[in-house]
Copies of this chain bind each other. A is one copy, B any other.
Amino acid sequence: MVLHADMVVKNAKIITMDAEGGIAGALAVKHGRIVAVGDESEVQDLVGPETETLDVGDRVVLPGLIDSHAHFMDAGSSRKMYVDLSQEAGIHSITDIQEKLRVKAEGTPKGEWVFGYQEDDSKLKEKRHPTRWELDEVSMKHPILVTTVGGHFWMANSKALEMAGVTKDTPDPVGGKFDRDPKSGEPNGHLHEEAYDVLRPDGPPEPTREQSFEGAKEILEECAAAGLTCVYDLVYRSEMRAAIDLKNSGDLPIRVRMDVTIDLIDELDKLGVYRGLGDDWLRICGVKFFFDGAISARTAAVSEPYLDKPDFYGVFATTEEIARDTLTNAYKKGYRISAHANGDRAIDLYLNILEDLQREFPRDDPRNRDIHCTVINPGIVER
């Protein structure tokens, strides 16, 4: 009796990543594990009648790449829910926006929302956002809402304003603003900050189970094609559900490690669900907390002002008190922390809290993570 490999890869340049930086020509796999790496002659004995042989034509074979942070599944379902209005999607003018939204509206039952996203006025030939009245040319029967690539600003059509009861007599909400036509005083459909909440008091739409599933499947397949074998993704309900559905249907293309939003820690704890539930393909890891903004938006909390905003040091998405309370509650229950801390002020605060927590509730394997950790200073490196 002889054991054969399930698969043999040959005629390859295998970057083994061993200490000597060795390159091998072939490898053999049994039960999903690499059981031999070496010359073709060395794996030839493992080829049996059932063995699949893959001649990769002198191509490079790498160990699988792991993306330690992305929001792939959310991006995947967004594709299924929103009309892509980016330049990359072929949008160069307000007419292009109207045409693409019209196709979506025609396939959407009357009265239901049509959402566009990734609109970028700097890439449009008009160099401005479409107005409410230009969106009305798409449809008066569907509420339409368009998100910009930079966030914080939206465009709505008349139906969307009407459903929210917004007229020229509606005052601006606290922390938000309806832009208005200078002559008539009518809202022109341009919404700033909290004005969004007037139109969508329950926030952005939740994808359907099918949208989450199809979106996650498509984008994770693209990840696999790009060489990724594992990704750490933030999950809310929709993403967790999509990932489990993909696993159950046998369609999960790559490994997924899930950081659950810390907003759901009470639900996790009531169930008794902790890090480690899952398998090598799909597993719960940490709970995700946000400390500050993003570098791209110049909102990461930094200790020196931004070059283009002399007195601006970014913003915290939390207070020290809330951060301490929230992370203490999670840490003492044994959860692993994955925190978004981008600027050095945020990172310092995060490290202060982690050091205190590890002192108060010590654990052997405190592999908490700082996600992004973009702007560091010598003191942080020291720690």
Contact = CB atoms under 8 A, between A and B. Distances in A.
Interface of A: 1-5, 28, 30-31, 33, 35-36, 38, 42-43, 45-46, 235-242, 244-245, 247-248, 260, 264, 267-280, 282, 284
Identical copies in the complex: 2
B46 A3 contact: yes
7 contacts: A1-B42, A1-B46, A2-B2, A237-B272, A244-B272, A244-B273, A264-B271
A30 B45 contact: no
Given A260-B271, A268-B271, A35 B3 contact: yes
A29 to B, nearest CB: 11
B1 A45 contact: yes
A35 B264 CA distance: 43
A1 to B, nearest CB: 5
Interface class of chain A by DSSP: mixed
A238 B272 contact: yes
A333 to B, nearest CB: 9
Contacts of A241: 272, 274
A265 to B, nearest CB: 10
A48 B8 CA distance: 22
Nearest to A245: B274
Nearest to A33: B31
A20 B264 CA distance: 53
Nearest to A249: B276
A35 B6 CA distance: 12
Contacts of A239: 272
A248 B235 CA distance: 21
A278 B3 CA distance: 30
A122 to B, nearest CB: 37
Contacts of A248: 274-276
